[in-house]
């Protein structure tokens, strides 16, 4: 059964896609992955492995939905600024094709956590392959376009950690969207389950100090990322996780990054 948070994120994704006023393909693809029982089961088990077995933050259905939603919002901001996606610039597809790829990548990028942390992005890619084929076959009668969107989604999945070079703007959006999910909600369950010190705790404590991450239109660039935190420990997430992912992303030139500790002036990184 879905949690209220999952349902809320599903609704946000659908409502945002509807606001773009595209054809029915993107909405159909989103609804297919939202209601897919296999995807939901893998997401759920990935979270069990991540939190209970490994002691990491949330890598389950809420996180993957959050990344998909972040990516959809950023795609909209880029579209508003008339920035072409890689598929558009290369005459390989339209904005909607790119949007479908990032939605699918967001929903599937961490399913490899069901096997463990090491190389989970590559595990996610081969585990996602047959699911992408199954879903995209319902959306694209044309085999060529299905292959293009599948490849783009796989690039986003395989490259979301920032330790492998990605080249498309769409994969770059997934990279940044993943880094933006670092608020206290991700650390709530592992913090509750264990207070014993262990390797990786800085990620939990740092995320637990971040109150909110917002995505909006920037003053000088299409995307403004604002990070609000209760203490300076949250800067670890900004500087060691998010900033590195943005730096590795083809979307870097379109992003402004601000971080603010309560009661202080915002600090601009990009």
Give pLDDT tens digits along the chain (270 positions): 899 999 999 999 999 999 999 999 999 999 999 999 999 999 999 999 999 999 887 889 999 999 999 999 999 999 999 999 999 999 999 999 999 999 999 999 999 999 999 999 999 999 999 999 999 999 999 999 999 999 999 999 999 999 999 999 999 999 999 999 998 755 545 444 455 555 555 566 677 889 999 999 999 999 999 999 999 999 998 999 999 999 999 999 999 999 999 989 999 999
Give Cα 218 distance to the centre of its chain. Answer: 20
For the chain, the domain total comes to 1
User: What pTM does this model have?
Assistant: 0.91
Question: Strands (DSSP E) along the chain, which ranges?
Answer: 210-216, 223-229, 255-261, 267-268
Three-class DSSP category at 201: helix
Six token digits for residue 119: 């190389």
Range of the domain at 231: 4-268
Provide the Cα torsion 201, 106, 39, 5; round to 10°.
70
Report the alpha-carbon distance of residue 76 to residue 72 in Å, rounded: 6
Strand order in the sheet with 267-268: 210-216, 223-229, 255-261, 267-268
DSSP classification of residue 112: G
Kind plus residue range of the DSSP H or E element containing 146? helix 143-158
CA atoms within 13 Å, Cβ hemisphere of 81: 20
Kind plus residue range of the DSSP H or E element containing 24? none
Helices (H), 36-119: 37-48, 61-80, 86-89, 95-108
């Amino acid at each position: 059964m879905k949690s209220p948070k999952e349902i809320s994120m599903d609704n946000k994704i659908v409502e945002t896609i509807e606001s773009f006023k595209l054809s029915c393909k993107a909405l159909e693809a989103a609804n297919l992955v939202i209601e897919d029982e296999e995807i939901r089961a893998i997401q759920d088990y990935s979270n069990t492995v991540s939190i209970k077995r490994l002691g990491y933050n949330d890598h389950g259905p809420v996180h993957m939905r959050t990344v998909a939603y972040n990516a959809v919002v950023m795609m909209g901001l880029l579209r508003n600024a008339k920035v072409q996606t890689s598929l558009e610039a290369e005459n390989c597809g339209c904005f909607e094709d790119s949007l479908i790829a990032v939605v699918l990548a967001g929903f599937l990028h961490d399913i490899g956590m069901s096997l463990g942390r090491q190389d989970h992005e590559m595990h996610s890619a081969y585990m996602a392959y047959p699911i992408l084929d199954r879903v995209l076959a319902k959306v694209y009668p044309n085999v060529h376009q299905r292959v293009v969107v599948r490849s783009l989604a796989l690039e986003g999945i395989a490259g979301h950690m920032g330790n492998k070079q990605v080249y498309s703007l769409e994969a770059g959006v997934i990279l940044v969207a993943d880094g933006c999910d670092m608020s206290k909600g991700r650390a709530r369950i592992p913090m509750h389950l264990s207070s014993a010190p262990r390797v990786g705790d800085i990620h939990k404590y740092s995320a637990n100090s971040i109150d909110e991450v917002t995505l909006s239109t920037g003053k000088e660039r299409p995307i403004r990322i604002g990070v609000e935190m209760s203490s300076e420990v949250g800067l670890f997430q900004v500087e060691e996780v998010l900033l590195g992912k943005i730096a590795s992303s083809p979307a870097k030139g379109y992003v402004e990054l601000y971080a603010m500790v309560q009661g202080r002036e915002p600090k601009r990184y990009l």
